[in-house]
Structure 1
Amino acid sequence: MKPLWTSSAIAAAVDGQASAEFEVSGVAFDSREIGPGDLFFALKGEQSDGHLYVDSIYEAGGAGAVVSQPVDGPHILVSDTTKALNQLATASRTRTEAKIIGVTGSVGKTGTKEALFAALNRASMGKSHRSVKSYNNHVGVPLSLSRMPAECQYGIFEMGMNHAGELAQLTRLVRPDVAIITAIAPAHIGHFSGVEAIADAKAEIFQGLTHEGTAIIPFDSEHYERLRKAALRCTKKVVTFGFGEQADVRAVDVVPAPAGGSLVTARFRDDGQGDRSLCFTVAEPGKHWVSNALAILAAVRAVGGDLAAAGLALAELNGLDGRGKRHKIELKDGGHALLIDESYNANPVSMKATLGQLASEPCNGDKIVLLGAMGELGDKAQVYHEALADDIITSGARTIVLVGDEMAYTSARLAELASEKLDYTPEITHVAGASEALTEVAGKIGDEDTLLIKGSNYLGLAKVVSALVSGEY
């Protein structure tokens, strides 16, 4: 196999000095992820120094390291390893002829990135590349670029932010041919003056577009005009997706699919070749996933990809860990229950969408929700957590476990709404952390129940999911 990088190419890219000739097949900055043939970047952080782990990466079969001090073993010596990582990312972007797609948004960016990869990888016969996990920050993005094979046809990169100016830096590194904004929501609003400021920060992704690049924006967003104006400052090509009649890629019909998910008919506005339609299935349930699928098809069309192959890929999606993956769990007292894992993150929009989907979820038993507090909402935390109570009532959940300090607002409002709107009394429990939540919910799940787990990642609700799925609780 052709190496990902040679030591001479790395040294030239990062202005470094190679101690020996070697080839690498992968790149990592976490010593625990190093495998045979990998290149290790010994990054220095506020609390750690990668140079302390260089010996272990050679023991794991690492082919070489990028370091700022000499070490025993093949290496590239540079003055600043973080700068070197960005330089290698830049070299990777420069050498490729692949079509590059950048994805951002307040919600849905990781799922959209993964589904877009599946859509393009199917047609390109494995010659597509994407950022793994949620490597979407100032370290994860250059790492993902550095990992991109020179011969791939498509590269898909997720970009995130929680402060203004961060996306501007990332997108200029990625230089996407197509830039997608999935949706705007009050995620990280504690760091911004309002949702409009979040829209402006997300729109920074367009600043890195290549010449004649394409901006893809949500037509149904209340911030549509703001996003459109920002996009037009950077490109003449703006494509919209959504449910409104004037959207360029529009869902004209959506019905439940027999096996779950949605059966969608999408229409593509005339691009010089006439209007066309595509009927396809989205395996993931919920209107938000239909919206994601429309953005994906818009991107596939923009890079000249195979729309039919993309439609087939969307029908075969499996939920991601922490982002909608479904587990059939065995109960200790016998029977089974459905666990919907949304434990990775939460904000007001994603909470509303997920609880709305739960409302329409077929269930022979009871519906249970284990919901964690939503982080980084600043002085609006009380308002958003109180508003969450309405969505919980609508979901039909009879057993409700709430986790985290801010959920005290939700619990109090729920008690008020339940007495006003329900003819039954839901069981509401409020606990401090994940361990107490596991104890509470484990004793409440019955045969054929459906359990939704969702909350901000800092609460560690993924541990609850893991325990229930493995039966180790």
Structure 2
Amino acid sequence: MTETIWTAGELAAITKGSLTGVADETPITGMSIDTRTLAEGDAFFAIKGVSMDGHRFVPGAIEKGASLAVISEGDAPRALRVPDVLKALEEIGIAARKRLAAGVPVVAVTGSVGKTGTKEMLRLAFGAGGYVHASAASYNNHWGVPLSLARMPAGIDSAIFEIGMNHAGEILPLTAMVRPTIAIVTTVQPVHLEFFDSVAGIADAKAEIFTGLVPGGTAIIPSDNAHTERLRAAALACGAEILTFGRGGDVSLVETDEEGVIADVLGTEIAYELAPGAHVANNSLAVLAALSVAGRDLFDGAAALREWSAPKGRGRRVRLRPAGGEAVLLDDAFNANPAAMAAAIAALGRVEARRRIAILGDMLELGPTSDDLHRGLAPLLVDADTRIVHTVGTMTKHLRDALPFELRGIHADTAADLLARLDPIEPGDAVLVKASKAMGLSTVVDALEKTYGLERRDV
């Protein structure tokens, strides 16, 4: 039986809205802003976006069995009418947070790289100790965070939220809604530089997450980042306890290889299985730090990480089957910035392969340093013993020009243009696909999977 999260009457009371065609006691079993994924019993929120008005989809939501539609205009046979739909969603999210029992750990994670992967590791680790609620996918923005909160049942044992930003000030209202007991910053790197004067400004924006901490809350920060002390100062200003992870941190790596990790957690050594990748191992330290703060069993939580796998587009490893053999695809096409590119290229370099091939698209939102940051990838590709580098977009022309001539593959303006000219994958190849999401290189991943079949291998 599907769990009832709210009743229609409760939503009306929280939002001070008016119900039409639905009884107060009507159960609400989910929250949706997208009719494509809406399930019967969900409340559908007709949010107005920049380019899309959710009110257009209200009839479809009702037809699919929505318990009610939250609307600010028009009509629906089952409706909750409010002045502002997004504001109503925020109010419900805040109410969901308030009704949690005292002592329930609420973890919020942000950072330039690794937010979603770390959130998923937290979900597994805390799930080993009870009923955990976590943000779906990358729901980390001005609608994703309140939606994730609003979906949260009352009787959970822990909650995990991802919080993102592109501009200064965006995290402040989100962390105020979440009110975390534990706030994690995975790293600070040159991301979204188009909107910041410096990386220090990015650190300050990430540190906004500490402003929402409950009294006595804990900030978990990297021990070895260039802006660690800036993060520490911001956390202390918010009255937070501080725990560090990484080289020389309170939680540190003892050893890591393709099979797993050995970590030191405040003097306790723990071995656990984890998908390969130095950045993955480092982010797992933040997870162990959070478990320690929450008083959860470290060994059970760490053991649960064996189930972790990279999501589609975020470092997922796929086994391809070209004629006569096998090849490996590293699907990292969801997002890109200099730090994430460096980690992905390093991961490619660790794969045993006859040829290492990189298909790279533009990194966006890097501002005036973009040319140099793209050129700076060239030595990393050489160090990873990459044989061919295909480039897509405008900014990757600077990367191509910096590469040794023999490494230069195809340059294309678009993903479709590249696919039309791409040579076949051969047995023994390892292929990395990475770019900012807007470059559309996920279509390259889809085409390679379709052409060569797939057998998923988690990393």
Query: In which range does the TM-score fall when normalised by the shorter chain?
Result: over 0.9
CA distance in 1, matches of 2:418, 2:357: 12
- Aligned-partner SS, 2:117: helix
Structure 2 CA distance, aligned partners of 1:434 and 1:161? 27
| 1:130 aligned partner | 134
Q: State the match for 2:334 in structure 1.
A: 344
**Equivalent position amino acid for 2:415 in 1:** A
**Aligned-partner residue type, residue 249 of structure 1:** V
Closer, same or farther: CA 255–145 of 1 in aligned 2, 3 Å: closer
Mapped partners of 2:4, 2:74: distance in 1 = 24
State the distance in 2 between where 1:444 and 1:397 align: 17
Conservation of the 8 A alpha-carbon contact between 1:370 and 1:437: no
Does the 8 Å contact 2:213/2:240 carry over to 1?
no
Counterpart in the other structure of 2:251: 249
Report the identity percentage: 40
For residues 202-259 of structure 1, what are the alpha-carbon distances to aligned partners after superposition, in whole Å with 9 as ceiling and x for unaligned? 0000000011001000001010110000000112410000022xx11111x2142xxx
Q: Larger deviation: 68-77 or 135-144?
A: 68-77
State the aligned residue count: 447
CA distance in 2, matches of 1:78, 1:472: 51
Q: Which amino acid aligns with 2:112?
A: S
1:6-405 pair list within 5 angstroms:
6-19=7-20, 20-21=22-23, 22-69=26-73, 71-97=75-101, 98-124=104-130, 127-244=131-248, 247-251=249-253, 253-256=254-257, 260-261=258-259, 263-269=260-266, 275-283=267-275, 285-331=276-322, 333-363=323-353, 365-405=354-394
Q: Say whether the 8 Å CA contact 2:362–2:396 is kept in structure 1.
A: yes
Shift of 1:370: 0.4
Q: State the shift of 1:378 in Å.
A: 0.7
Q: Is the 8 A contact 1:104 1:159 kept in 2?
A: yes
Gaps of 5+ in 1: 270-274, 419-424
Alignment match, 1:445: 425
Using the TM superposition, give the Cα deviation of residue 336 of structure 1 relative to its aligned residue in structure 2, in angstroms. Answer: 2.4
The one-letter amino acid paired with 2:9 is S
Pairwise CA distance, 1:117: 0.3
1:30 is displaced (CA, Å) by 1.5
1:280 and 1:472 map into 2 onto residues whose CA distance is 33
* Separation of aligned partners in 2, 1:327 and 1:34: 29
How many Å separate the matches in 2 of 1:394 and 1:437?
Answer: 25
1:466 is the counterpart of 2:456: no
CA contact (8 A) 1:371 1:453 kept: yes
Kindly state the Cα deviation for residue 65 of structure 1 after the two structures are TM-superposed: 1.1
Q: Which amino acid aligns with 1:317?
A: W
Instruction: State the SS of the aligned residue for 1:169.
Output: helix
Q: 1:427 to 1:192 in 2, by over 3 A?
A: closer
The CA RMSD over aligned residues, in Å, is 1.5
1:90-110 deviation line (CA, Å, top 9, x unaligned): 111111123210000000010
2:389 and 2:194 map into 1 onto residues whose CA distance is 26
Structure 2 residue runs of 5 or longer lacking an equivalent are: 454-459
Distance 1:33 1:178 in 2: 31
Q: CA deviation at 1:472?
A: 8.3
Which letter maps to 1:459?
Answer: M
Give the TM-score taking structure 1 as reference length.
0.92
Cα deviations by residue, 1:412-463 (Å, 9 ceiling, x for unpaired): 0103xx5xxxxxx33422111111222333x241012111111100011111
State the 1:334 CA deviation. Answer: 4.1
Residue 408 of structure 1 pairs with residue 397 of structure 2: yes
* 8 Å Cα contact 2:357-2:430 kept in structure 1: yes
8 Å Cα contact 1:215-1:235 kept in structure 2: no
Encode CA deviations 1:344-375: one digit per residue, 9 max, x unaligned: 01111111111112212222x21111011100
Specify the code of the residue in structure 1 equivalent to 2:217: G
